[in-house]
Structure 1
Amino acid sequence: MRADRSLWIAPALVFLAALTALRLVTLALTPIDLFVDEAQYWLWGQNLAFGYYSKPPLVGWVIRATTALGGDGTFWVRLAAPLLHAATALILGGLTARLAGPRAALFVAISYATLPMVALSSILISTDTVMFPFLGLALWAWVIAAGRGGVGPAVCAGLALGLGLMAKYAAIYVLGGFVLLQALVPALRLGARQWLGFGLALLATVAPNLLWNAAHGFSTFEHTLDNADWVRDPEDRIALSPARAAGFLLAQFGVFGPVLFGALIALVVSVARGATGAPQRWLLAFVLPAIAVVTAQAFLSGAYANWAASAYLAATVALVPWLMGRARVWLVVSLALNTALAVALAVGTIFADRMPGLYARYLGRAEVSHRILETARQQQLQTVVAADRGLLADLFYTGRDSGLLLRARPEAGRPSSHYALSYPLEPGIAGDVLYADRSDDPPACPDRAVEVGVFTPSAGAWAGDDIHMYRVPADCLAVVAQAGGLSGSSTGTPAPRSNP
C-alpha cells in the first residue's frame, strides 16, 4: 500500500519542478519592486526578534535565511515563496494519498500549485506563503495521530501548528478545526495523552512570541484588533454592508479559482443533503469556519480577499477527489484554466514594466526612493524622515546602503506602523533633516521648513502624486512630537542609531 501511495510523487515532482523553475526565472528577471509589506518583512529580517509590529516573526526569519545566501536583492527576498508553495503541494499530496489514494494525490498537488492565490504569492513573499506548509503538516500529522493513536504524531501536529501561528495568526482556524473534529468526528479524536502532547508542543512553539508581545504592549495583537476595527468601538465602527460581504465572496472565485470555488459551493450543498461522507464532510471543518468568519468581518467592517486563504488547503484536498468521482471534466477545466493563468502571470511579470497599468502598485517605488535620497545628498543632509508607511518601507529597503539615517516621524499615542514603533526620529539629533511626504503641507514649524524639491511620478505606485521634500530642523519635529506627548515608541523598543 505504501508503494502505491508513492506512485504519485515522481510525476508531481516533475510538474512542480518545471513550474517552480519558471517562477524562479520570473523572480530573477522581473522589474517589479518590493511591495510595502515585502519591504517591511525584509526589514524585520535585519533585526531578528520573536515578534514584530503587525505579524509574528517567521516571515522575517525566512527572508533573513534566503538573503544570507545571496544578498538583499529582490530575488533573494522572494526566493522562499515558490519553494514553500512547492513544498506545500507535496505535503497536501501526501495527506491526500493517505485519504484518497495516489491518483488523487497527484491532482491535489498540481491543483494546489496552480491556484490563483498560489500563482500570485509565488512571485511575492507573504505571511500566507510561510504559513501554508506548516498548516498542511499539522493536518497530516493529526490524521496520522488519530489513526495510529501515538503521542509522537500529535506532538508533531502541535509543533507544525505552532510554527504556522508563528507565521500568521490566521493559523488559528486550523486549531478550531481540530476542536470541531474532536467534538464531532469520533474516528479522528485524539486521546488525553495525545491532546496533552499536542497542547504542550503548540504552547512551547508560540511561547516566545507571546512573551515578546507581553513585553511590547501586545503590539501584534493590537494590530490584529485594528484590522477588525469594529471590535474596539462597535457603535461607531460597525457599518453593516451586505455588498461588502457579497464582494468578499465573489472575490473568492478569483482567490481559489472560478471552477473550484463553484465546486466548493456544490460540495457544501451535497454534504448538507447527506449525499457526501468522509473525508469531505470533516475536511469542511477547516474550510467553512474561516470563510464564514471573514465574510462576517466583511459584512461588519470590511475584509481583504486573502483573509480566508488558509481555508483552501483543506478545500483542495476535499474537492479534487470529489470532482474526480463526480465531475471529472470540471477538474480538467479547472486544471487547464488555472495552469494557463499561472504560466501567464509568471511570464507577464517578467515584462511588468511594459504593462505599467496592470502592475502599477509594484513599480516605481525604488525610483521615488532614489529621488528622495539623492535630494538629501544634494542638500548635504544625513537624515531622511517620512510619515507615510509606503514611502518608509521602500526608503529603508532601497536606501539600505545609502549611508543615510532613515527615520519615521514620531507619533502621538500608539505607533501606527513598525517604523514609528522601532525607528522614530530621536529628539537628540541636531541640525536639519530631509522630510518627504505626499502632502504639500509643511511637516511642522512652517516658518522654519523650506521646500527643497517636488516631483510627480508619471507611472507606477505613486503616479500622479506630488512627492514633496522639505528641509526641516530636527529639533522642530522633536519639539512638536514632545508637545504631542510622543515618546517615539510606546512599547519601549529602542530605536537603532544607524540604518540597518
Structure 2
Amino acid sequence: MQKNAPRAKTPDPIWTGVAVIAALTLYRVVMLRLSTAELFVDESQYWQWGQDLAWGYYSKPPLIGWVLRAFSELSGSDNAFWVRLPGALFHAATALLLMGAAREVTDRRAAMMVGVSYATLPVVAVGALLISTDTILMPFFAGALWLYLTLVRRPSGARALALGLCLGLGMLAKYAAIYFVIGAGLGAALLPAARITWRDAALATAAFLAVIAPNIVWNLQNDLTTLSHTADNVDWVRRPGVHLNPQGALEFLAAQFMVMGPVLFGAYLLTAVRALTRPDWQGRWLVWMSAPTLALVTLQALLSKAYANWAVTACVAALLLVVPVLWHRARMWLWVGLTLNLAVSVFLPYAATQATSWTRASDGRLLMRRYVGEGAMSARILDEARRQGVTAVVSGNRLLLADLFMAAKGSGIEIFAVPVPEHPPHFYAQEHPYPAERPGPFLFATLGDEPPCPGPLPVATWKPGPGIYAPNTLSLYLREGTCWPAAGN
C-alpha cells in the first residue's frame, strides 16, 4: 500500500493579508504618481505648517506638519505626490496594525480579513489620495487599541507606556484621539473584564500627558488658537440656544454607509445590537469603543453640523467587531461588501489621473474641478508680479494664499495675507500678515474682494481657465505698502 503524500503546507493567512495590503498600496502609490489632481487648500496649508516646525498650528495639532516636512526633506521635493504619499503608507500601516489587534479577538483567517477590510474601506480610498489629519491619526489609534487589548490579557509596564505614547501621538495628529479615552473609559466602567491594572493605567496616562504637554503649552501661549478653532467648527458658541438640525443628523448617519461601505456599516449596526446581549466582554467592549463616537458626532450633527469623516475612528473597533462575525456566520455578505469597497478603491485612484479630462455632459465643466487650476493661477500671478517689478503679493483669499505660498517658494517673491486686527480668520492671517514696516509696492490678488486702499484700476484682470476658479474673475492691483498704516499692529 502506497503511503499518502504529505499535504502541502497552507500559507499563513496573516502573510496573505500582508500581501493583499501591499499590492493595493503599491497600486495606490503608482496611480498617485500619475494623478493630475492638484493639492487642495487644506493640503497646501498642512505643507506650509511643516515649513516652520512648531508644537501647534492655527486649526490642528502639529503632527501632520511634521510628517509632511519629513517627507519633503527625505524626497527633496514639495510636489503633490510627495505631499500625499504619507496617506497611502499610513493607511497601510493601520491595516497591518488592525490585523495584529484582531488576533486578540479572533482567529488568524478572520484577522486577515479585518486588515483587508480596512484597506479597502471607501474612506481609506479617499484618505490614500488626499492627505488629512485623520490619516495621520489612524495608525496610532489602531496601535493603541491593540496595546489595550494585550494589557487586558497580560499587564506590562512597557506596553502601558507604549499605549500612552500612541494616544499622545494620536492627539498630536488630531484631537479626535480623545474618543479612545471616552470609549475605553466607558468600557472599563461597565465591563470589569475589560479593565487594565491601575499601574498600567497610571503609566499610560503619564506617557500620554508627557507627549501632549508641549501642545497644551503652545495653545496657552497662543491664546488657545487650535482649541478655539475647534470650538468654531463645533459652532455651539456662535449659535446660542437650541437649534436642532435633524436633517443634518440623518445625513451624517447616511454618510457612514459610504465611509465603511453599505454592507459593512449595515452589518455593524446589527452586530453591535446583538453584541450587547452576548456574554463575552470583547464584543461588548468593541461596541463601547465605536458606538459612543458615532452617537456623539450624530448629536453634534443634530445640534449644528458634522462631516462624514468626524467619526472615522469608530471604524477601527467596528471592523474588529463585525468582520469576524461575517467571516464565520455570513461569509457571502462579507465578500459582497469587500467587492463593493474594492471596486471603489480601484476606481478612485484611476479617477484622480483623469482630473483634467473628465467633464460633465451638461455644461462641460470638469468633474474634479476642485483639484484643478490652482497651479496655473499662482504661476500667472507670480509672472505678473515680476512684470510689475514687485517682490510681494498680498491676498485676503485663503484658497489663493495656500497655493501661492507653495508656488512662490524660492522665487524671491514674498506672500502675505491681509492683516486682520481682530481674531484672524485663517492660518495665513495669523502667521503671515502684511507687515506695516515693509517698504515698497505690492500686488493685491483678489477674486472679488476690494483692494486694501483706493487707487488705480487693476493692472491685470482675467477669467481663469477650467478648474476651481473658473466661475470667478481674478484681478490684480498695484498698491503701496503705506496704504496700510495699521498693518501688523
What pairs with 1:327-406 in structure 2 (closer than 5 Å)?
A: 327-356=330-359, 357-406=366-415
CA distance in structure 2 between the aligned counterparts of 1:234 and 1:321, rounded to whole angstroms: 45
Instruction: Give 5+ residue unaligned stretches, structure 1.
Output: 488-500
Confirm whether residue 144 of structure 1 aligns to residue 147 of structure 2.
Answer: no
Residue in structure 2 matched with residue 456 of structure 1 by the alignment = 463
Shift of 1:386: 0.7
Mapped contact 1:442–1:449 kept (Cα < 8 A)? no
Q: How large is the Cα RMSD of the aligned pairs?
A: 1.7
Residue in structure 2 matched with residue 268 of structure 1 by the alignment = 272
2:88 to 82, 87, 92: 82
Confirm whether residue 317 of structure 1 aligns to residue 320 of structure 2.
Answer: yes
Name the CA shift for 1:276/1:454 in 2 (closer, same or farther; >3 Å): farther
- Structure (1/2) with the larger helix percentage: 1
Mapped contact 2:103–2:111 kept (Cα < 8 A)? yes
Identity of paired residues, percent?
44
Shift of 1:275: 5.1
Residue in structure 2 matched with residue 199 of structure 1 by the alignment = 205
Residue in structure 2 matched with residue 434 of structure 1 by the alignment = 443
| TM-score of the two chains, using structure 2 as the length reference | 0.94
Confirm whether residue 256 of structure 1 aligns to residue 263 of structure 2.
Answer: no
Mapped contact 1:442–1:470 kept (Cα < 8 A)? no
Structure 1 runs, 4 residues or longer, greater than 6 Å off: none
CA distance in structure 1 between the aligned counterparts of 2:234 and 2:275, rounded to whole angstroms: 31
CA distance in structure 1 between the aligned counterparts of 2:218 and 2:157, rounded to whole angstroms: 29
CA distance in structure 2 between the aligned counterparts of 1:15 and 1:163, rounded to whole angstroms: 28
Confirm whether residue 21 of structure 1 aligns to residue 26 of structure 2.
Answer: yes
Residue in structure 2 matched with residue 413 of structure 1 by the alignment = 422
2:453 to 427, 442, 445: 445
Amino acid at match of 2:251: G
Amino acid at match of 1:287: S
Residue in structure 1 matched with residue 4 of structure 2 by the alignment = none
Residue in structure 1 matched with residue 363 of structure 2 by the alignment = none
Name the CA shift for 1:449/1:219 in 2 (closer, same or farther; >3 Å): farther
CA distance in structure 1 between the aligned counterparts of 2:298 and 2:333, rounded to whole angstroms: 26
Q: Deviations over 1:156-211 (max 9, x none)?
A: 11110110000000010011111112201211212221111011000001011111
Helix, strand or coil at the partner of 1:160: helix
Amino acid at match of 1:322: V
Name the CA shift for 1:213/1:435 in 2 (closer, same or farther; >3 Å): same
What pairs with 1:102-113 in structure 2 (closer than 5 Å)?
A: 102-113=108-119
CA distance in structure 1 between the aligned counterparts of 2:130 and 2:335, rounded to whole angstroms: 27
Mapped contact 1:96–1:108 kept (Cα < 8 A)? yes
Count of residue pairs the alignment pairs up: 473
CA distance in structure 1 between the aligned counterparts of 2:279 and 2:458, rounded to whole angstroms: 68
Helix, strand or coil at the partner of 1:80: helix
What pairs with 1:155-174 in structure 2 (closer than 5 Å)?
A: 155-174=161-180
Mapped contact 1:114–1:342 kept (Cα < 8 A)? yes
Instruction: Give 5+ residue unaligned stretches, structure 2.
Output: 1-8, 360-365
| TM-score of the two chains, using structure 1 as the length reference | 0.92
Shift of 1:232: 4.6
CA distance in structure 2 between the aligned counterparts of 1:271 and 1:99, rounded to whole angstroms: 13
